[in-house]
Amino acid sequence: MESTMLKIKQLLVDLYGCRADLDDDELLQRVLEEAAEKAGSTVVNRLVHRFHPVGVSVFLILAETHISIQTWPEHDYAAVDIFVCGEGNDPSAAWEVIRERLEPESHEIKEITRSIGERRA
């Protein structure tokens, strides 16, 4: 049986000096939903958790994996994980929406390429 190898890109992004309100869970959920749509993904479930006194985690489960954000508003910092797969799905498009809406002064991106269908010894 011949297997086809599938490559999937995952973006891990650190955002520094965000101008958007990183303690606004409704805003963050809307931003991630817009990002998922722009990436060509379908949201199947949402999880939002508020920390006290500040901070939010938003996790969108997608038909094509997930997008999440965790925030530390007191440091104007957010950590984003964009993991989407499937033909026509683009994690970079999701990142552009997030960057535009959260307005970080700077950011660092780590790109991971995952391979499915390749067995390793």
Which pLDDT score, from 0 to 100, does residue 25 have? 97
120/118 Cα distance (integer angstroms): 7
Q: What distance, in Å, lies between the first and last C-alpha atoms of the chain?
A: 18
- Where does the pLDDT of residue 12 fall: very low under 50, low under 70, confident under 90, or very high at 90 and above? very high
What is the per-residue pLDDT across 21-54, written as a single tens digit (0 to 9) for each? 999 999 999 999 999 999 999 999 999 999 999 9
116/60 Cα distance (integer angstroms): 22
Using an 8 Å Cβ cutoff, are 88 and 70 in contact? no
Using an 8 Å Cβ cutoff, are 55 and 109 in contact? no
What is the per-residue pLDDT across 70-106, written as a single tens digit (0 to 9) for each? 999 999 999 999 998 877 788 899 999 999 999 999 9
Reading the block at residue 112, the tokens are 């991971």
121 inside domain:
no
Domain containing 13 — which CATH number?
3.60.90.10
Question: Domain count of the chain?
Answer: 1
106 inside domain:
yes
105 inside domain:
yes
State how far the alpha carbon of 76 is from the alpha carbons of 48, 56, 69, 97, 106, in Å: 19, 12, 13, 18, 11
Quote the domain boundaries for residue 52. 6-116
1 inside domain:
no
62 inside domain:
yes
Token pair 């920390």: residue? 51
